Amino acid sequence: MAMSRRKRARLVRGVQYAVLVLIVVLLGFLADWETVKNAFFNVDAAATQFPEIFTDALLNTVVYTALGFALGLGIGMVLALMKLSSVGPYRWLATLYIEFFRGIPALLVFIALGYGVPLAFGIRFDIYSTAAIALGLVGSAYIAETLRAGIQAVPHGQIEAARSLGMSQARTTVTVVIPQAFRIILPPLTNELILLTKDSSLIYLLGLARDEYELAKFGREGLNATGSLTPILLAGLCYLIITVPLGYLSRYLERRSGRKEEQGLKVTA
């Protein structure tokens, strides 16, 4: 007798749950819990990380990311407008910039700014400026494409309505197009902020003073000092303090944007 589709789906789900439980049980039996406890949950090693992990490392990570995101947003806006320009060389330059910085690892940008620029031009930035410029250059390439997509998603009828009211092209762009584009792209912009938060760990390559440590560097130094992986675990948890709320915010904005679009479609219908 052939099994119904509903029973087959229930059987597949049951097998999946059974496999998951089996894996958890096997890990439970195979793991050396005493070693795991000493390696990852060492109370003495954890105590050495406070309060500097919050007052220095977490704070510096937030500052590096905020500076990079602000610069990236500014450059990204200019690039997006250049890519939408009717002037060919502007579009070509913006495309070249975006493809270049999206195509190379962020690691190379940090090395170029930290070591290449001082050698080539004799210019040495402080660590905060280096972090802001490196993150800004990388982030702006992605933000520019997000902004361009958002600008192009603004209904053309609203632009025509603004122009029919006597607004210039520039004023229409600034007061009508860009504000609406930002509402559309808030979720992907939040995701870009999360990526920049993680990329900020690359600043460790340039050599940092103790009060300039970000979370990843602070965790590694804690590992070297205590011989325990607990500081790395704490650094990871601090990253989650930043990224998890941002992830929820992104999903909330995405749902809200979706509801507004549905309401707009109903009104239009």
Inside any domain, residue 16: no
Of all residues in the chain, the percent with pLDDT exceeding 90 is: 48
Tell me the pLDDT of the chain averaged across its residues: 88
Inside any domain, residue 230: no
In terms of Cβ atoms closer than 10 Å to its own Cβ (0-12, 13-18, 19+), residue 192 is buried
Inside any domain, residue 251: no
- Contact assessment for residue 214 and residue 203, using Cβ atoms and an 8 Å cutoff: yes
Inside any domain, residue 65: yes
Tens-digit pLDDT profile for residues 171-188: 888 888 888 888 888 888
Type of residue found at 40 = F
Q: What are the tokens at 104?
A: 């190379």
- Contact assessment for residue 243 and residue 162, using Cβ atoms and an 8 Å cutoff: no
- C-alpha 42 chain-centroid distance: 30
Inside any domain, residue 218: no
* CATH code for the domain of 109: 1.10.3720.10
Q: Count the Cβ atoms, other than its own, within 10 Å of residue 197.
A: 23
Inside any domain, residue 193: yes
Inside any domain, residue 245: no
Q: Given this model, what pLDDT does residue 230 score?
A: 93
Give Cβ neighbours of residue 226 (< 8 Å, ≥ 6 apart): 42, 44, 45, 48
Say how many domains are in the chain: 1
How far is residue 154's CA from residue 156's CA, in Å, rounded to a whole number? 6
Instruction: Please say if the pLDDT value at position 256 is more than 80.
Output: no
- Contact assessment for residue 239 and residue 215, using Cβ atoms and an 8 Å cutoff: yes
In terms of Cβ atoms closer than 10 Å to its own Cβ (0-12, 13-18, 19+), residue 181 is buried
Inside any domain, residue 138: yes
Determine the 3-state secondary structure of 168 from DSSP. Answer: coil
Q: Comparing 251 with 18, which gets the higher pLDDT?
A: 18
Range of the domain at 70: 58-212
Q: Given this model, what pLDDT does residue 235 score?
A: 94
CA-closest candidate to residue 173, choices 188, 189, 186, 158: 158
- Contact assessment for residue 128 and residue 64, using Cβ atoms and an 8 Å cutoff: yes
Length of the chain: 269
Tens-digit pLDDT profile for residues 106-165: 999 999 998 888 888 888 888 999 999 999 999 999 999 999 998 888 888 888 888 888
- Mean local confidence (pLDDT), 241-251: 88
